Amino acid sequence: MIKATYSDKEFIVDLLCRAFDQYNSINEAVKQNRKREKSIRRLMYYSFETCWLYGEIYFTSDLKGVALLFSPEKKKTTLRSLLRDLSLIFYAINFWRIVKIIRREFLLKKYYSNQLVYIWYLGVEPEFQGQGVGTRLLKEIIQMVDQRNLPIYLETSLLINVSFYKRLNFKVFQKFHFSYTLYMLKREPVSQLSNEEDITSRMPHLEEAS
């Protein structure tokens, strides 16, 4: 995978708009009118800028997949960040759903207070989805984050994605029911996974000795 530069912004936003055009969680948030596509684009611009300042952005060498990673503990509330948030609300977010969106974000942020890597978006060009592009990118991200000994968190509103993430040792630890179901998943660093496996492997012996 390749670490993005700021000059890659338009390419990454374009790909994310195509990849997430039909996602429930995206369309729940943005204005559903003739400017829907423009609203999604503004959301992706906002996400890019936030991850550029407080995280990392990567894309695959074949330009078919991108990942936006966010480090919640790095984000500070400044005048600039407030203006960016207000601009998103005014131009892109569905006014009648603002209260629901704020409530959702409040619920989610309770789980993201410690050091971690949060996958904000992992997107693949629609015509290449299901061909292993996302899997390869996610595996590289996992390898990188494991070296930092940090957990990875993410959310998805698609049940099919839950099975995909579970194959890579992610676990569902919370579910929220809005007008759709949002699954919260996390993956512990490889050192923690190894400890859990060691404990599990010893459990039968402990039971036999009791």
Domain that holds residue 122: 2-209
Starting at the edge strand found earlier in the chain, the sheet holding 55-59 runs 2-3, 55-59, 65-70, 117-124, 152-156, 181-187, 171-177
CATH number where 37 lies: 3.40.630.30
At 210, the pLDDT band (50, 70, 90 cuts) reads very low
Contacts of 172 (CB under 8 A, 6+ apart): 162, 166, 183, 184, 185
196: enclosing H helix or E strand: helix 190-209
Is the Cβ–Cβ distance between 183 and 154 less than 8 Å?
no
User: In b/e form, how buried is each residue of 22-36, taking b as 16+ CB within 10 angstroms?
Assistant: ebebbbbbbbeeeeb
Q: What is the mean pLDDT of residues 169-176?
A: 90
At 209, the pLDDT band (50, 70, 90 cuts) reads very low
Convert the pLDDT of each residue in 53-84 to its tens digit: 889 999 999 999 999 999 887 766 555 555 55
Question: Domains in the chain: how many in total?
Answer: 1
Token pair of 194 as six digits? 């190894």
Whole-number pLDDT of residue 32: 58
Which phi and psi (to 5°) does residue 6 adopt? -65, -25
pTM for this model (two decimals): 0.74
